[in-house]
Structure 1
Amino acid sequence: MTNGGKPRIAIDAMGGDVGPAVMVAGAVMSQEQIPGVDFLLFGDETAIRAELSALGADMARFDVVHCPEVITGDDKPSQAIRRVKTTSMGQTVDAVKTGMAQAAISGGNTGALMAISKLALRTMPGIDRPAIAALLPTLGENDMVMLDLGANTECDTRNLIQFAVMGAAYVRSVLELERPRVALLNIGTEELKGTDAVKEAATLLRDAKYLPMEFTGYIEGDKISRGLVDVVVTDGFSGNIALKTLEGTARFVTDLLKRAFTSSIRSKLGFLISRPATDLLRHHLDPNNHNGGVFLGLNGLVVKSHGSANARGVANAIQVAAKLIDHELTRKITEDLDNFRAHHKGEEVAG
C-alpha cells in the first residue's frame, strides 16, 4: 500500500457519535482543502466505501483498511489496549507508529485514544507526560491554544514548563506566530499568587528569553478569551474545568439570545435587523470551527475530534493535523526542549 511519498493522515472512520457518515464526509471535504495529503481510513470497509462513493470522493487519494471491531464510549482504556489489533482506533494509531501515516485522527473515546497512543507512540525524549491542547476562540486577532485539557490532573513545575514549550511550538505551527505570548493560568496576576509549582514555573519561564516565546506572566480565568495571550498553560484538572466552563458559557449566550429574540413580535423584528451580527456570533462560538484537540508530547501526531462534530468540524481537525505535519511540530518541540535543558544543565527542576 503506497501513496507515492505524499503525507498521509489515518482516520478512525468509526469514531465519533455518528461514525462513517460524518468522519468520511469530513475527509472528503478535506480533499480539496489540502490537496497535498492522502487519507487512510480504518473501519467497516463496506460502509466506508459506500460513503466515499456517495460523496464522489477522489478514490486515488483514499485507502481503506477493514477493521472488525469498534471501541465504544463505554470501553475502559485497559480494554481498548487489549483490542488494538482488531479495532479501527487501534489500527489508526498503529498506522502512525509503523510510518503508514504521519498523523492519526479519531472522534472516539478520549481515554482509550490517549492510552492507545501512549502505548504505541511513547512520549518524546524530555517529555514526562503528554498533554491535550486545543485551539479556542478569542476576541483578539487570532485563536489561542490552551493545555492541558484533561490528560494530567496533577502537574509539577517540570510538566508546566514542558506544556509551555509544546504549546508555543503548536501555535508557531498552526497560527504561524513567531513568538507566541504564553501565560500560566492562576488565581491572580500577582507574583506571590498560586501554587509552588506555578510560581517556580513562572520564574523559570520568565528567564527563558532564549526560547521562541514571550512569557507574559499569569492570566486569570475571566481573561482567557480576551485575546491577550496565545498560549494558556495549566494542569489538566483546571484546564478541563475552564474548557467546560467556556463551552457552557457559549451555549448559555446563544440560548439566551434565541430565547430573547423569540419572546415577542418586537424582538423577532429586532432579530431580523441584527441577524448579520448574530450569525457572526454563532459562527465564532461554533465548536466545529475550532475542532481538533492534539495529544502533544508523543512520538507521532494524534488529533482528537469532538465526538459530536459535524463534517466541517472533522475537516477542521484534519486541517490542523495537516498543518502540524507540514510545520514539523515534533522537531520544533525537541529543539526547544533541548535548548531549555542546555541552559539549565546541572540544575534540578522540581519534578
Structure 2
Amino acid sequence: MRILSVIIGTPDENSSMWMRIKRQAEILSSLGHEVELCFYSFYSRHELSFEPPFKYSVMRVSPITVHLKHLINISRDSYDLLFCNLAPSAFISSLSRIRGIPIVLDNHGDLISERELYEPGILSKIYYSIVSSLSFRAADRIICVSSSMMEDLRERGIPGRKLYYVTNATDLDLFSPLDEEETDRVKSDLGLENRLTFGYIGADSKWQGVDNLIETGRRIDDDDLQFLYVGFSRNTVRSHNELYLPRVPFDEVKYYYGACDVLVLPRPPHKSAEVAAPTKFAEYAAMGRPILTTDVGDAADLVRKYECGIVVDDNRPENLLRGIETFKSLPEDELVRMGENARRMAEEEFSMEKMKQDLKNVIESLGV
C-alpha cells in the first residue's frame, strides 16, 4: 500500500511530534507499506532542518491555497491511504474524499482545548471546533492515544467504529534503567549526589503544568532535595535547590532521566491534558524511575494499577508538596520497587511491538 503521511508545519528533529511521525512511518514501512511524507508549511521557514529517512516533500502554502495544493498533490500521484498528523492535517485532506482515498487521523491531542490556552476567544473556539468536527467526519479511522480520548470522542458523537487505540510507544532499548555506576557518574557531573532529585524533562507548554512544580520547589527549604529541569532554559542556571538545563540531544535525554530519583508529571486538570498521552510518561516508565503524577488522564490510572509512584489530586503546589514529602519519607527499597514496577509497565503498555500491532489493526480494519 502507498501511504502519504500529511503533516502541518516543519517540526524540529528532536521534537516529540517528529519522533511520533518518524516512529509511525517506520512501523508502517516495516509492515510492507511504501510511506512518503508531505510537510505543508504556513510559515516563512519552509525547509526542514534535517533529512528524514523517507521520501518527502515540503510545500509552502497559505490557509487559502493549502486545500487546492493538497488536492493537486494527491491527484499527481496514486496513494492508497492518507495518514494525517492531528486534526488540521485531516481537515486539509478532506477533499481527498473526492478521489475515494481513505483517511486515518492520528489524533494525539485535542485541538480545541489546546488552542484555548493560546488563543482564547469565542471566534477562535468556533473556528477550531469547525476544523475538529470536519476532520472527525472526514476520517475513516481515528487513532486515540488514551481511553480518556476515546470516551471523550464517543461523548461528542463520533461513531465507535472509527475509534482505535494505539499506544504512544517508546524505544525500550534506548530508554532503559542506568546501572548504578552510570547513575552515580551523571549525578556527580550535575552536582546532584546525595540529594533526592525530582526531575522534569520536556517542554514547558501550558498544559504540562510545570510552572506549579517550579513554584512548589521554591517553597521548599531542604538541602536534601533537588529539582532538575531540562529542556526549556536557554542556559544552564543553578539557584537555591534548582538546576535548569537547555535542550539536549534526543539520544542523551536518558542520562538526565537517570539522574533523577523521581520523575514528575505535574499536568493540570484541563481537557488538553486529560485526553493526552505524554511521550515523556512512557519514557519515564521505561527508565525504571518512580513517578509523581497528578490525577489526570490515563497516566494516573496506570500509576495506580502498576503501583509505580504517587498520584496527587491536582497540581496545586500544596498537593505537589505533599507528594514530594511522601516520597522523601519512603525507604530506599520502596523506591526501588516502584521503579521496577514502572519498567514493567513500560514493557507491557508502551512497547514498539504493541504499537506495531495496534497500527496494523487500524490499517487492516480499512480493508484496502
Q: Which of structures 1 and 2 has the larger relative contact order (alpha carbons within 8 angstroms, sep 6+)?
A: 1
Same fold (TM > 0.5): no
Alignment TM-score, normalising by the size of structure 1: 0.37
Alignment TM-score, normalising by the size of structure 2: 0.36
